[in-house]
A and B are shown apart, each in its own frame.
Chain A
Amino acid sequence: DAKTTQPPSMDCAEGRAANLPCNHSTISGNEYVYWYRQIHSQGPQYIIHGLKNNETNEMASLIITEDRKSSTLILPHATLRDTAVYYCIVRVKDSSYKLIFGSGTRLLVRP
């Protein structure tokens, strides 16, 4: 599976949009981009995933560049409860279904 690069930490003000970047320049054509987050001392939570089209759900939006070498997770109106470590994972949607976590981005939402 392709490697991802994320900034180690970011912060944003409560109520503003949080834009979390992820670089996956070695992604191949059949690899999906997944985002999970982990709030302190809890298990990770699925947020969103996509292949090449932009995706939106009730939690977030995922913007994938046309060349698929990078993506951005957008939390449109961040709240204090969105403070967490956000993981961008690239993997093939194959029968193993394994998720390999990188180091993620620690997002701090400021009041």
Chain B
Amino acid sequence: GAVVSQHPSRVICKSGTSVKIECRSLDFQATTMFWYRQFPKKSLMLMATSNEGSKATYEQGVEKDKFLINHASLTLSTLTVTSAHPEDSSFYICSARVGSAYEQYFGPGTRLTVT
């Protein structure tokens, strides 16, 4: 199946700093990418839907000024956690979809720890 990568796989940052997470579709062009967050022992929570060349659509309760999403090309979407705080520590996962395909291909996730 199609491959989606994320970088970095793990990051530790200090409270108040910003962190950028990249999501790339390696062997296909993704018309839509999705960002999820997962706290320990909890399910995935959809944060936003990102379409190439347009603004992301955020789910209710997700602050768009805190979680900046850029989908500048068909193979790259980035999530920037601005002014991170310890409560932002979580597992962030992206997924990508191509064309009218029913499958979403998920990245391996990025574990963010804010100290």
| 8 Å CB interface, B30-86 against A | 32, 34, 36, 43-46, 49
Residues in A with CB closer than 8 Å to B32 are 97
Known contacts A103-B43, A104-B43; is-contact A42 B109 (Cβ 8 Å): yes
B binding-site residues for A, Cβ under 8 Å: 1, 4, 32, 34, 36, 43-46, 49, 91, 93, 95, 97, 102-109, 111
Q: Which A residues fall within an 8 A CB radius of B?
A: 32, 34, 38, 41-46, 49, 87, 93, 96-104
Q: Are A46 and B46 in contact, with the CB atoms below 8 A? A: no
Q: A42-B108, A46-B103, A99-B34 are in contact. List 16 more A-B contacts (CB 8 A).
A: A34-B102, A42-B109, A43-B4, A43-B95, A43-B109, A44-B93, A45-B106, A46-B105, A97-B49, A98-B46, A99-B46, A99-B104, A101-B44, A101-B45, A101-B46, A103-B43
Contact at B49–A43, with CB atoms within 8 Å? no
Do B102 and A101 touch (CB < 8 A)?
A: no
Q: Is the interface of A mostly helix, strand, loop or mixed?
A: loop
Looking at the complex, which one of A87, A98, A104 makes contact with B49 (CB distance below 8 Å)?
Answer: A98
Contact partners of B1 in chain A: CB under 8 A? 46
Q: Which residues of A contact B111 (CB under 8 A)?
A: 41
**Which of A44, A87, A97, A103 makes the CB contact (< 8 A) with B97?**
A97
Mind listing 24 A-B residue pairs with CB under 8 Å?
Answer: A34-B102, A41-B111, A42-B109, A43-B4, A43-B93, A43-B106, A43-B107, A43-B108, A43-B109, A44-B106, A46-B1, A46-B104, A46-B105, A49-B102, A87-B43, A93-B102, A96-B49, A98-B46, A99-B46, A99-B104, A101-B44, A102-B43, A103-B43, A104-B43
Q: Which of A49, A87, A93, A99 has the most CB of B within 10 A?
A: A99
Tell me the minimal C-beta distance from A89 to chain B in angstroms: 10
Q: How far is the CB of A99 from chain B (nearest CB, A)?
A: 6
Closest partner residue, chain A, to B101 (CB atom): A97
